[in-house]
């Protein structure tokens, strides 16, 4: 993705700071605290900013990490280095348990759910006997290497910042991979990602665990920095504070988490130490000013500080074209090729009392372009959703290559070689065209999250990107490959969706109004592309309103009106069919 140079410079800078002569020890303490907060915020960036799952409960995971090591290293005398994996494991396992309950929650239930168990766990920490109740646990041993004990804030500083930088690198590697693209697609809704085989609940669980483990790591470091733990820093207030660290920094950016941590920790410190001098008087003046500044900051930069800073830098979009000579394995074809690819039999879909699709039957043969036309509200897109498993039919059946797929989810349908585009474009606008298209090849890659983090996925990744680049060039958008998908015109975005669908290596392509928003020349180019695809052995089923386009392209046309099939045949017969003319032009025509 980006060059590693800025990170290296940053790492060297951080390594040099303790050696600056005259550096006040108190600043090192601040930097330690920034590092601890940054770890948690980084997890939240992935969870909230990238994955779209807002969590107030992260402080509880910090608590799990801290209490695990506190109990094991005091009561059981385990070495802190041994408790590190155990702390991470406990955080991760509890994330699985809590995640099973919360990740499934939709919309605003999710943040509220996390707030609820965040609060509950805080009270649990403060009531449990073996966690020392409200007093917590003290006399936790320091980290040590051989005889060297990390007793001072300056000595544990390196442990903290190595953890921050390594975690940042791993997190960025994860985002820039096959799994990362699936995660980044989550925020835009499930349907598009699932249509290309992404298992969205699993992807959500993954980011949830990732964020929890980072929080657990922060807790482990915290316990050995303070060498005492008590419930206060793991309560709901802290959970809320971590969230606004991420939002203030820029919730979509890994380094935004680090920047946000620095801003918030320093701001609080400055307010606490200098405000009483300016405004002497009782109480929490700093809380008041802090709250007001938070609101002001959000009004000035709702996207956070990091993206605002980045927009000041000159833009440089590193557009290295993938090596398209790399070949991706073909999708395995199912044996026993029958000539009927898709058979829809008496499919029916009711929404309450409305019959959107009324006992519709048709088929699509191999090497054929079939058009599904009809006035608005005729049930065309609903039919598409029935075929691709987004909706399940009320009755009737749908078979692919002779086997029924009625109840199959979208992820299974795409495995059979049926890929689609959407009537309302569903791309991730802040990902490049190349990355968007590569989601289409999701099922043809194999690397998981761990290998992505460790960059063991590069060969697999290069093949995926090569395939994506090939399909982008095939649809004629080679020049836009590295632009953000959201910056293209609507017509071009539709073409990007076609490239994404082609990445599946499909036998049947479903296109929902592909020509809408295209100019005349672009439509002709699209038509010739679709003909080429058919001649190459692919079938196409398309919904379209542009009759000129359909009549010149389709081999066969199916006409729907009010959910019912009213005609089927070649373009020539459809043009003269009185039922069709009546449906489109009214009775008098």
Partner 1 sequence: MNTTIMLFLLQDGITNGAIYALLGLALVLVFAVTRVILIPQGEFVTYGALTYASLAAGQMPGTAKLALALGIGAFAFDLFAARKALHGRLILRSIVANIVLPAIVLALTVYFAAQKPPVAVCIALSLVIVAMIGLFLYRIAFQPLAHTSVLVLLIASVGVHLALQGLGLLFFGAEGQRGPAVLSGSFTAGALRFTGQSITVYGITIAFIVGLWLFFGLTLYGKALRATAVNRLGARLAGIRTTLSGQIAFLLASVIGALSGIMIVPITTLYYDSGFLIGLKGFVAAIIGGLVSYPLTAVAALFVGIVEAFSSFYASNYKEVIVFMLLIPVLLLRSLAAPAVEEEKD
Residues in touch with partner 1 (CB under 8 A): 48, 52, 54, 101-102, 104-109, 111-113, 115-117, 119-120, 123-124, 127, 187-191, 236, 240, 243-244, 247-248, 251, 281-295, 298-299, 302, 429
Between residues 117 and 584, which has the closer beta carbon with respect to partner 1? Answer: 117
Positive or negative: CA dihedral 80, 85, 86, 88: positive
Between residues 247 and 258, which has the closer beta carbon with respect to partner 1? Answer: 247
Q: How far is the CB of 2 from partner 1 (least distance, A)?
A: 24
Between residues 30 and 119, which has the closer beta carbon with respect to partner 1? Answer: 119
Q: How far is the CB of 98 from partner 1 (least distance, A)?
A: 9
Between residues 240 and 484, which has the closer beta carbon with respect to partner 1? Answer: 240
Q: How far is the CB of 176 from partner 1 (least distance, A)?
A: 22
Q: How far is the CB of 287 from partner 1 (least distance, A)?
A: 4
Q: Reduced to 3 states, what is the DSSP secondary structure of residue 541?
A: strand
Element (H, E) at 382: helix 380-387
Residue 493's Cβ-side half-sphere holds a number of Cα atoms within 13 Å equal to 19
Between residues 62 and 271, which has the closer beta carbon with respect to partner 1? Answer: 271
Of 344, 386, 335, 391, the C-alpha closest to 363 is 344
Mind spelling out the 3-state secondary structure of 432-488? EHHHHHHHCCHHHCCCCHHHHHCCCCHHHHHHHHHHHHHHHHHCCCHHHCCCEHHHC
Reported in sequence order, the residue ranges of 93-172 that DSSP labels E, i.e. its strands, are: 137-138, 143-145, 148-150
Q: How far is the CB of 237 from partner 1 (least distance, A)?
A: 9
- Between strands 403-404 and 354-365, the pairing is unpaired
Which residue reads 């093949």 in tokens? 463
Between residues 244 and 562, which has the closer beta carbon with respect to partner 1? Answer: 244
Between residues 54 and 539, which has the closer beta carbon with respect to partner 1? Answer: 54
Between residues 25 and 120, which has the closer beta carbon with respect to partner 1? Answer: 120
Mind spelling out the 3-state secondary structure of 2-25? CCCHHHHHHHHHHHHHHHCCCCCH
Between residues 104 and 519, which has the closer beta carbon with respect to partner 1? Answer: 104
Q: How far is the CB of 283 from partner 1 (least distance, A)?
A: 4
Q: How far is the CB of 419 from partner 1 (least distance, A)?
A: 19
Q: How far is the CB of 277 from partner 1 (least distance, A)?
A: 17
Compute CA distances 227 → 126, 153, 450, whole Å: 18, 11, 31
CA distance 291 to 436: 39
Between residues 289 and 366, which has the closer beta carbon with respect to partner 1? Answer: 289
Strands in 369-373's sheet, in edge-to-edge order, are 418-420, 508-512, 539-543, 369-373, 556-561, 564-569
Residue 228's Cβ-side half-sphere holds a number of Cα atoms within 13 Å equal to 9
Which residue reads 């007093």 in tokens? 135
Q: Which residues of 114-136 are buried (b: 16+ CB within 10 A; e: fewer)?
A: bbebbbebbeebbeeeebbeeeb
Q: How far is the CB of 6 from partner 1 (least distance, A)?
A: 28
Q: How far is the CB of 536 from partner 1 (least distance, A)?
A: 33
């Amino acid at each position: 993705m980006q060059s590693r140079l800025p990170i290296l410079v940053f790492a060297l800078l951080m390594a040099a700071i303790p050696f600056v002569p005259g550096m006040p020890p108190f600043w090192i303490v601040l930097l330690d605290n920034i590092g601890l907060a940054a770890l948690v915020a980084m997890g939240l960036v992935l969870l909230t900013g990238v994955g779209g799952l807002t969590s107030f409960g992260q402080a509880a995971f910090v608590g799990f990490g801290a209490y695990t090591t506190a109990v094991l290293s005091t009561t059981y005398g385990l070495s802190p280095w041994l408790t590190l994996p155990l702390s991470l494991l406990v955080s991760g396992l509890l994330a699985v348990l809590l995640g099973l309950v919360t990740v499934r929650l939709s919309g605003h239930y999710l943040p509220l759910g996390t707030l609820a168990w965040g609060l509950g766990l805080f009270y649990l920490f403060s009531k449990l006997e073996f966690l020392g109740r409200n007093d917590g646990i003290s006399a936790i041993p320091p980290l040590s290497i051989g005889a060297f004990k990390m007793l001072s804030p300056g000595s544990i500083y390196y442990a903290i910042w190595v953890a921050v930088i390594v975690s940042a690198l791993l997190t960025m590697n994860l985002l820039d991979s096959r799994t990362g693209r699936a995660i980044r697609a989550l925020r835009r809704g499930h349907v598009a990602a699932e249509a290309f085989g992404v298992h969205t609940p699993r992807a959500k669980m993954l980011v949830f665990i990732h964020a929890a483990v980072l929080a657990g790591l922060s807790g482990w470091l915290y316990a050995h920095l303070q060498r005492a733990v008590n419930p206060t820093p793991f309560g709901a207030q802290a959970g809320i504070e971590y969230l606004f660290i991420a939002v203030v920094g820029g919730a979509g950016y890994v380094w935004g988490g680090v920047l946000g941590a620095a801003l918030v920790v320093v701001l609080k410190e400055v307010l606490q130490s200098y405000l009483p001098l300016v405004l002497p008087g009782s109480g929490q003046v700093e809380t008041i000013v802090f709250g007001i500044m938070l609101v002001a900051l959000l009004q000035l930069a709702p996207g956070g500080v990091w993206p605002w800073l980045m927009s000041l830098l000159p833009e440089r979009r590193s557009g290295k074209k993938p090596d398209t000579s790399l070949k991706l394995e073909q999708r395995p074809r199912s044996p026993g090729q029958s000539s009927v690819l898709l058979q829809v039999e008496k499919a029916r879909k009711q929404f309450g009392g409305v019959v959107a699709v009324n006992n519709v039957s048709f088929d699509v043969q191999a090497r054929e372009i079939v058009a599904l036309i009809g006035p608005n509200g005729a049930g065309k897109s609903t039919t598409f959703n029935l075929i691709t498993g987004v909706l399940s039919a009320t009755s009737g059946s749908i078979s692919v290559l002779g086997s029924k797929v009625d109840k199959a989810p979208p992820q299974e349908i795409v495995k059979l070689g049926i890929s689609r585009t959407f009537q309302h474009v569903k791309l991730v606008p802040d990902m490049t065209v190349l990355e968007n298209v590569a989601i289409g090849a999701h099922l043809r890659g194999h690397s998981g999250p761990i290998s992505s983090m460790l960059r063991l996925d590069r060969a697999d990744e290069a093949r995926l990107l090569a395939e994506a680049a090939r399909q982008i060039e095939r649809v004629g958008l080679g020049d836009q490959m590295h632009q953000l998908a959201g910056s293209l015109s609507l017509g071009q975005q539709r073409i990007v969706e076609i490239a994404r669908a082609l990445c599946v290596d499909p036998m049947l392509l479903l296109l929902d109004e592909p020509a809408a928003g295209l100019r005349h020349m672009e439509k002709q180019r699209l038509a010739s592309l679709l003909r080429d695809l058919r001649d190459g052995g692919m079938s196409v089923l398309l919904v379209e309103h542009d009759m000129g386009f359909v009549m010149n392209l389709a081999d066969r046309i199916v006409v729907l009106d009010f959910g019912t099939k009213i005609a089927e045949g070649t373009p020539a017969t459809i043009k003269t069919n009185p039922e069709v003319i009546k449906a489109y032009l009214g009775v008098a025509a």
